A and B are shown apart, each in its own frame.
Chain A
Amino acid sequence: AQKITQTQPGMFVQEKEAVTLDCTYDTSDPSYGLFWYKQPSSGEMIFLIYQGSYDQQNATEGRYSLNFQKARKSANLVISASQLGDSAMYFCAMRESPAYSGAGSYQLTFGKGTKLSVIP
């Protein structure tokens, strides 16, 4: 089973509108971390926002906010007031404790990504 699912291969949004990018996850670890990254066509992976499993409030960073619904295992990224420069691939990623993931480190597991296109 996939640990990170991003169901939207591509999304379009009008400039200045808000957009929600979906992410669901699967883990039995009580202490996990969720991350969103942006990858423009130039290729660099840019860290956007982090949500810890024990955080009581939804994370926010400028125009980015994370709609964290723990019971539903959902961590959707909301971008407000979209700009042309927001056009990029967006990846949701999870980090689990090695004791639960079976991995040897706090490596990131990524979803397949959502390609966001902002229309002028």
Chain B
Amino acid sequence: GAGVSQSPSNKVTEKGKDVELRCDPISGHTALYWYRQSLGQGLEFLIYFQGNSAPDKSGLPSDRFSAERTGGSVSTLTIQRTQQEDSAVYLCASSLKGGNNQPQHFGDGTRLSIL
């Protein structure tokens, strides 16, 4: 497809389990961002990739969160030992470059529920 693709759409898991969330950006977009949207906190930045490197990881809330990007394309966000406060919608966005005037285009998100 032409847009940002995220999978799964929904994920329900038990507390303490690990989860992997996938993002396939728009073809040719070198910049990729992960955000989290929760009721209490709104939309929060998590991590930024330029190509395969992550020059900005400042938004990751704890060391249980990690992400990688391979081939300058697909990115995976991993949450280890999930906690109930990790329940949120995880949104991925990509832009042509990482510059100031480039709009970020978002995927439909992964709704994560921790039981």
Chain A residues within 8 Å of B, Cβ to Cβ: 31-33, 35, 37, 42-47, 50, 52, 91, 93, 95, 97-98, 103-113
Closest chain A residue to B33 by CB distance?
A107
Interface of B is mostly: strand
Given A44-B108, A50-B101, A52-B101: A107 and B42 interface contact (C-beta under 8 Å): no
What are 25 A-B residue pairs whose CB atoms fall within 8 Å in the complex? A32-B100, A37-B106, A42-B108, A43-B109, A43-B111, A45-B106, A45-B109, A47-B104, A50-B101, A93-B43, A97-B100, A104-B55, A104-B56, A104-B58, A105-B50, A106-B31, A106-B102, A107-B33, A107-B45, A107-B48, A107-B56, A107-B59, A108-B104, A110-B42, A110-B43
B10 CB, min distance to chain A CBs, angstroms:
10
Taking Cβ atoms with an 8 Å cutoff, the residues of B that contact A are: 31, 33, 35, 42-43, 45, 48, 50, 55-59, 89, 91, 93, 98-109, 111
